[in-house]
Amino acid sequence: MIATIVLSFKATNKLFASGTGQPENDVLASQLNFFTIKAINQTTLLSWSNSSPMTNDFFVIERSIDGKTYNQIGKIKSTGTTNFTFVDYNPSSNINYYRFRKVEFDGTIAVSPVRVVVIEKNSDFTVYPSLVKSTLTLQNNVSADIDSDAKVQFILASTGEVMQETTLAANSDRMDINLSTLPAGNYVAKIMKDKKEFNHTFVKQ
């Protein structure tokens, strides 16, 4: 069974499109009625709508697995309407960052806000609560003890930056982690153990 967590937010930093040197465009962001993503049967559906018909040349859709390096995964022609969709048939099994570039006829580029999908497969761990004020608990689900250390990273979803990391020691069944120094935002807890990787999402208040 696969649980899908969708995080939608406007990135607070200026993310740059690959090879363009163009930052996220605040005007484009303000004109969007919505820009959403949804995981459906191992694919990702991107949908966006503008407040008025878009009369630009085309859109370039980009995906990243680390929130830093983006690659083009598609290109669609603008139709002069307000609503657009794109399906990514080959998303990563873990974290996927999406954005699109709006390209005008004169070559001017505007970059959309970022959207993130995390697909969580059955995990060896439970991470709670989903809304964290200061302390996050990491619980081992497989057995009372683990026979090797598990590395844990806390990644700010809007940038892909590792903000804090720790280790769940072998023979430990749980750990309470102090995250009080983390800035507020959407996070991914990445747990790496025995060449396996588990991703869990939470919000730091």
The CATH code of the domain that includes 141 is: 2.60.40.3080
CATH of the domain at 31: 2.60.40.10
Instruction: Kindly indicate the confidence band of residue 146, based on its pLDDT and cuts at 50, 70 and 90.
Output: low
Residues 107 and 150 in one domain: no
Residues 33 and 132 in one domain: no
Residues 157 and 128 in one domain: yes
Residues 140 and 199 in one domain: yes
Q: What is the pLDDT of residues 27-68, one digit of tens each?
A: 888 889 999 888 776 788 899 999 899 899 999 999 998 888
Residues 108 and 194 in one domain: no
> Using CA atoms, how far apart are residues 8 and 37, in angstroms rounded to an integer?
8
Contacts of residue 13, Cβ cutoff 8 Å, sequence gap at least 6: 158, 159
Kind of pairing, strands 131-132 and 125-128? unpaired
Question: Quick one: pLDDT at residue 23?
Answer: 58
Residues 104 and 131 in one domain: no
Question: Quick one: pLDDT at residue 106?
Answer: 93
Instruction: Kindly indicate the confidence band of residue 141, based on its pLDDT and cuts at 50, 70 and 90.
Output: confident
Q: What is the pLDDT of residues 104-139, one digit of tens each?
A: 999 999 999 988 887 666 678 888 988 899 999 998
Domain boundary residue among 93, 118, 143? 118
Residues 110 and 140 in one domain: no
Q: Is the pLDDT of residue 201 over 90?
A: no
Residues 102 and 138 in one domain: no
Question: Quick one: pLDDT at residue 168?
Answer: 87
Q: Is the pLDDT of residue 142 over 90?
A: no
Residues 130 and 113 in one domain: no
Residues 154 and 103 in one domain: no
Count the domains in the chain: 2
Domain extent for 161: 123-204
